[in-house]
Amino acid sequence: MPQSAESRIRLARRGVRANALAYWLILPAVLAMLLVHYVPMLWGFYISAHDVNLFTMADWMHAPFVGLRNFVDGFSAATTTGARALRAMLNITVYTVVTVGIGYIIGLAVALLLNQQFVGRTFVRGLILLPYITPDSVAYNVWRFIFQSRIGILNRYLVQWGLVTEPPIWLVGPPAFWAVTIAAIWKGWPFTALILLAALQKIPHELYEAARVDGASMWQQFRMVTLPQLKNVSISLILMSGLWSFNSFNSFYIMLGRDPGVAAEVPSTLILREAFTNLKYGLGSALSIVLMLVLLIITIVYLHVTRGAAGAEEV
Amino acid sequence: MAAMNVAGAAAAETAITTAAAAENAPRVSRQRARAIQKVLMYIAVLLVVATVLAPYAWMVSGSFKETLELQASDVTIAEQAPSWIPRNPTLRNYRDVNRVVPMFRYFRHSIVISVGSMIVSTALALLAAYALSRFRFRGREAYTVSVLATQMLPGILFLIPYYLIFTMITRSTGLPLRDTYWGMIFTYTSFALPFSIVMLRSYLNGIPLEIDEQAMIDGCTRVGALWRVIVPLATPGIAAVAIYSFIMAWNEVLFASVLTGRVTRTVAVGILDFVTATGANWGGMMAACIVISIPVLVLFTAMQRYIVEGLIAGATKG
């Protein structure tokens, strides 16, 4: 379409003005996110390098500079906090691998199941969303009740079936970690199943037909068609739930309280306690920055590995 | 087996039908295999349903139990083993839900904070999503990435500096922020924004550009087009985002445990009062669990389709 120079200029000018409007439109959201996410994050770096504690917090911007001392204290096995922090990192890694891994397997199995035809399928599909939409404070309190040693329903069956002679005390010491893990798996798999089911339904039928024509068994169809088709969704799903899991706070805090004990300590509970119970804000900040860096490294490595694998496959 | 015997007998009877019967036999056994498969499938479905529902059954059962029954139950004594069916079902836990723990007050706080966050964050997300969906501007990609990145960062990372900034502002200006409604609304608004923006943007992308252009040719301004044409068309998406924000604020625990106090304590944290070091009222706790789940369940059911779609889009495109 031939355009006069004049109209083109007018259009361009309108474009500029339209762009200015775009900035006005995103401004409030940008401001809110800056003030709640990015500004505090930057101050977090400042706080982590200063001795902000009970005595200095009133005027924390003038707290004494201590360099990397908070980081050293936070992660040297010699200090109580350091030993706990290292244990917390180990715990959260195990927790993440187990909840995400088992959650993925269950989620995939249920997604495959719900992809079949059966009576009441719609109902069951809606039903499995329940754990996902139930508030954390409800779900984990119910599991806390289930795991009660004397009055919990779990121990009733363990005793009744003769699996234990003495009812175990689940929510104290090492078993507490596994109790929380089990509850978190129950809460987490429906989301995985939901996403995988949606992805399963997008796989073209022709792929299965072609595989059948080639004489592929059910198992071969699953390995050669279903799994590769789910690969991309699975990568983002595992990464996302891995990051969420690594940041877990609610499950441990609700089921075990402010101090879950060494065996069930995770970074979020430790940081919360160091900062708001022991009032060592500098130390808490240092720990939370290390947590963020670990997450960042995991994300980068994970994306690199999975992208690399995908690239190799295409070649 | 019987079916196959019948097929075998038929084959023996006449030589002419032998070929047909030979074809019949594997078909019958295939049917049998399919029947077994079907039974196994239903067993698996039942297992899934039972796993999902068992904790809820335990919650409902606990909420109708008398305190005495709960205190006396003991897994080591057969007659006093905790049971699924309450021995003397009672409504007392529901009636007394506000007696020791001020549950109604927590409920009011949660309503104010959740509705406030819902309104503010939906409005801000709509504006930002509209800009991302309709305009190309410098920094658009960077902005989108930064929106997505905030979702991945641990909340605890912001909490300490955020708290200290609150105390500093309060000290220097006398403006209270901690344990105030608007401090919490502002906080949760920002939490809900990233996901809301991403979700609304993909919804708005589904509405053709021509519709805005048509409205502007008809004399609407940009903002007029957004308000009079796009908002009505995007109502389901907007509702889904609004409900997401509400639920997020209703459920949040970490920031609520530090930033709320007597004036604004929310249900998600307040419910922990039922079971403390000094006393455990499990019946009351379970009744309260049911009560605070109701708003979430109602809202989610109303908007299930859109929220699920948004979640899937977020997970697969994000």
pLDDT digits (tens, 9 = 90+) for B139-190: 888 888 888 788 778 889 999 999 999 988 998 898 888 899 999 999 999 9
Tell me the chain A residues in contact with residue B247 when contact means C-beta distances shorter than 8 Å. Answer: 133, 135
Rg (C-alpha) for chain A, rounded Å, is: 26
Tell me the chain A residues in contact with residue B153 when contact means C-beta distances shorter than 8 Å. Answer: 37, 41, 292, 295
Give the three-class secondary structure for B39. Answer: helix
pLDDT at B209: 85
* Whether B135 and A19 lie within 8 Å, measured CB to CB: yes
pLDDT at A305: 80
Asked if pLDDT for residue A13 goes beyond 70, the answer is no
Give dist(CA B129, CA A159) in Å, integer: 56
- Prediction pTM value: 0.87
Distances from the Cα of A191 to the Cαs of A12, A104, B223, B232, in angstroms? 46, 10, 37, 30
* Whether B73 and A131 lie within 8 Å, measured CB to CB: no
Asked if pLDDT for residue B224 goes beyond 90, the answer is no
Asked if pLDDT for residue A14 goes beyond 50, the answer is yes
Q: Nearest by CB to B161, which of A19, A40, A243?
A: A40
Neighbours of A274 (CB within 10 A): 25
The rounded percent of chain A whose pLDDT value lies above 70 is: 92
Tell me the chain A residues in contact with residue B227 when contact means C-beta distances shorter than 8 Å. Answer: none
Residues 209-248 of B with CB under 8 A from A: 222-223, 247
pLDDT at A315: 34
pLDDT at B137: 85
pLDDT at A54: 82
Q: Nearest by CB to A152, which of B53, B82, B194?
A: B82
pLDDT at A155: 94
Of residues A287, A257, A63, A68, the one with CA closest to residue B160: A287
pLDDT at A5: 53
Quick one: pLDDT band at residue A7, thresholds 50, 70, 90?
A: low
Best of A89, A134, A143, A151 to mutate (most B CBs within 10 Å, chain B): A151
Quick one: pLDDT band at residue A145, thresholds 50, 70, 90?
A: very high
Residues 70-99 of B with CB under 8 A from A: 70-71, 73-76, 81-82, 84
The encoded tokens of residue A21 equal: 């409007």
Tell me the chain A residues in contact with residue B305 when contact means C-beta distances shorter than 8 Å. Answer: none
The encoded tokens of residue A172 equal: 């104290």
Give dist(CA A3, CA A12) in Å, integer: 12
Least confident of A186-200, A255-269, B31-45, B297-311: B297-311
- Residue range A56-72: mean pLDDT, rounded: 86
Best of A60, A142, A158 to mutate (most B CBs within 10 Å, chain B): A142
Best of B64, B71, B87, B164 to mutate (most A CBs within 10 Å, chain A): B164
Asked whether A85 and A74 are in contact (CB, 8 A), the reply is yes
- Residue range A123-134: mean pLDDT, rounded: 89
Per-residue buried b or exposed e for B249-285, using 16+ beta carbons within 10 Å of the residue's own CB: bbbbbbbbbbbbeeebbbbbbbbbbbbeeeebbbbbb
Q: Which residues are CB-neighbours of A205 under 8 A, at least 6 positions away?
A: none
Distances from the Cα of B261 to the Cαs of A266, B113, B281, in angstroms? 25, 13, 22
Choose from A19-23, A117-121, B180-184, B300-304 the range with maximum mean pLDDT.
B180-184
Asked if pLDDT for residue B105 goes beyond 50, the answer is yes
Quick one: pLDDT band at residue B290, thresholds 50, 70, 90?
A: very high
Asked if pLDDT for residue A243 goes beyond 70, the answer is yes
Asked if pLDDT for residue A279 goes beyond 80, the answer is yes
Choose from A98-107, A112-121, A229-238 the range with maximum mean pLDDT.
A98-107
- For residues A165, A166, A170 and A176, what is the CA-based torsion angle, rounded to 10 degrees? -80
* Stronger pLDDT, A36 or A95, i.e. the higher one: A95
The rounded percent of chain A whose pLDDT value lies above 90 is: 59
Asked if pLDDT for residue B311 goes beyond 80, the answer is no
- Residue range B275-289: mean pLDDT, rounded: 92
A276 interface with B at CB cutoff 8 Å = yes
Give dist(CA B170, CA B165) in Å, integer: 8
Determine the residue type at A272.
L
pLDDT at A185: 97
Give dist(CA B35, CA B1) in Å, integer: 14
- Residue range A79-92: mean pLDDT, rounded: 93
- Residue range A184-203: mean pLDDT, rounded: 92
Give dist(CA A185, CA A173) in Å, integer: 20
Tell me which chain B residue has its CA closest to the CA of residue A254. B272
A240 interface with B at CB cutoff 8 Å = yes
Best of B70, B75, B132, B297 to mutate (most A CBs within 10 Å, chain A): B75
pLDDT at B10: 44
A146 interface with B at CB cutoff 8 Å = yes
Tell me which chain A residue has its CA closest to the CA of residue B310. A195
For B6-47, the pLDDT digits (tens) are 444 444 444 444 455 555 666 778 888 888 989 999 999 999
Q: Where are the alpha helices (DSSP H) in chain A?
A: 5-33, 39-48, 69-75, 80-114, 121-127, 130-133, 136-146, 153-160, 174-202, 205-213, 218-221, 227-246, 250-256, 267-276, 281-314
- Residue range B212-219: mean pLDDT, rounded: 86
Average pLDDT for chain A: 88
- Residue range B248-259: mean pLDDT, rounded: 94
Asked if pLDDT for residue A45 goes beyond 90, the answer is yes
